[in-house]
Every structure is written in structure tokens, then in C-alpha cells.
Amino acid sequence: MSERVDVAILGTGPAGLSAAITLKIRNKKILLLGSKELSGKVVKAHEINNYLGIPAVKGEELAKHFADHLRQMEIEITEDMITNVYAMGEYFSLQSKSNQIYEADAVIISTGVNFGKPYPGEEQFLGRGVSYCATCDAPLYKGKRVALIGSSPKEEAEARFMSEVAAEVYYVPLYKDEVQLGDAVKVVKDIPVSIEGKMKADKLILKEQELEVDGIFILRESVSPAQLVPGLAMEENHIAVNRKMETNLKGCFACGDIVGAPYQYIKAAGEGNVAALSAVSFLDQKKRSEVK
């Protein structure tokens, strides 16, 4: 378990980076979790014309500006994906895909809207045969049969690891890149449709076939916020916030695309700044209460 920080920031898009910079200026100890490649959505943008002060900028160039700003502020990115956030009363406990536990007095969620729509049966069987972290739950499936749904080539590492534990592993890639997993993993090129079971999930329904398994791992770029943070209030697929970027959970803030349209980089960056300042106010108030 790492040392507790003031604020943990989930996501390295414009909202998360903006929040991190503001918090660093306000002398808060932060943990910025995400990808060192920053936002793939930004990098792939052909041209951005409404980012104040940087007209007609290509996404790759804007991402470079972001990275340079982080270096100047000496802000580091921890490459880890958070799978669960638990409100523990006085702090938040964050469990990651690498099985690491982090603690923070406040949390800012800025993970974008890449989590996708849940499969039928996914939420019903979450924790009962359905998981988002192979590294975390692999010991539960020793000698058993499992299926993994991978959203990108980097998830192949999870399949390799699982093949060392489970008796039989199926891997369903959702991408077109060539899959290289060797003979220990059975690659199934098909489209997931739903998850079925009785007391627990025991069947992955694909478009062309069915896989009878003991466990199903859904490996996405990010997890739906409703599944990420128990008790978090939602508005359709977005986190419900007020103008201060406060959620219904005290000490938990959200900003960027995850709180709703318009999905604009400059809007996300502004909300990141607001979320950070609200987190600072929350921490200062908490400190005053502890002194009393």
C-alpha cells in the first residue's frame, strides 16, 4: 500500500491534467493515474480550432504541449488502471488492475466516456463470475475455464498471465490487430452478445457460438463509473455533478466528458480546474474540522 495522498486523479485527458496542474500549484500531494501517452482521443484529433490561444492545432501537437507542461511542473503519471474506488469515511481506497491499493483524502474522476455499454448480464453477475481485473481475481480461477474479452492488444498480457493459472483460457479480441498469444490461449474471433448464468455467470454468448466457462473477464480501457464507485449518482451514462464538479459522495469530484456533453477539450480543461479548486476547498475545510 502506498502513502496516502491529498487527491487521486483518475484519467490523463485534458480534464485530469488540468486538475493535476491546479492542485500542484496549490501545493497538494497528488497521484495522477492513467497513461503516459495521455489521451488517445486528443492525439488522434486531426485539427482543433477552438482551444484558446492555440489556433488550428493538431491533436498530436496539443498533447505535446500537455506533456511539456507536466514536465515543467514536475508532475509524474502513474500508469495503472483503477478498477474500484471505495469511500471509507475519512478517505478513499482505490484498487488497481496491478493489485495495488492507493489511498487518498479526495478523488477526481476524469476518465472520459470510453467505457462502453455493459453487455446484458454483465452488471447482474459482477462479482459473481464477472470481473474487470484478471490480475486481481486470477487466484479464484485456478484450474478452471475462463474467457477474457480484450478491448486492445495490451490486454493480451492479462490473457498470458491467466493461462499460467487457469486450466483453459479463451481470448475474444475486439480489435483487428494480429493476436499473438501462443498455444496456451485459445483465440476466439467472434462478437460478444451477452452473459448468462444462474447463481453465477457460467456462459458467454457470442454471435456465432457459446462458451461455457467458470469466469468472464471484461478488459476495457476504463470502467463504467457506476461500477467503479459504489453509490455514485448517475444521469444516464454520465456522473451527476453540480457547478463545483461535486458528486453526491463527499470528497469525490468529476469532470470532463464523463460528466456530459459537449465533449470539448477546452470545456474538459476548464472543468478540471474547477474540480481541483473544489477539492482544495474540501481538504481545507476537512483540515479545519480536524483542528477543532
pLDDT-derived band at 1 (thresholds 50, 70, 90) equals: low
For the segment 143-175, what is each residue's pLDDT rounded down to a tens digit? 999 999 998 888 888 899 999 999 999 999 998
Q: Do residues 215 and 111 lie in contact, with contact meaning Cβ atoms separated by under 8 Å? A: no
Question: Quick one: fold of 130-219?
Answer: FAD/NAD(P)-binding domain (3.50.50)
**What would the mean pLDDT of 238-265 be, rounded to a whole number?**
95
For residue 244, give every residue at least 6 positions away whose Cβ sits within 8 Å of its Cβ, in sequence order, or none: 253, 274, 278
* Residue 229 amino acid letter: V
**What would the mean pLDDT of 64-90 be, rounded to a whole number?**
94
Do domains 5-115+222-291 and 130-219 share one topology? The answer is yes
pLDDT attached to residue 207: 95
CATH of region 5-115+222-291, choose from 3.30.70.100, 3.50.50.60, 2.40.30.170, 3.40.50.2300: 3.50.50.60
Query: What pTM did the predictor assign?
Result: 0.77
For the segment 174-195, what is each residue's pLDDT rounded down to a tens digit? 988 888 888 889 999 999 999 9
- The span from the CA of 209 to the CA of 53, in Å, is 53
Averaged pLDDT score across all residues of the chain: 91
Domain spans, the chain: 5-115+222-291, 130-219
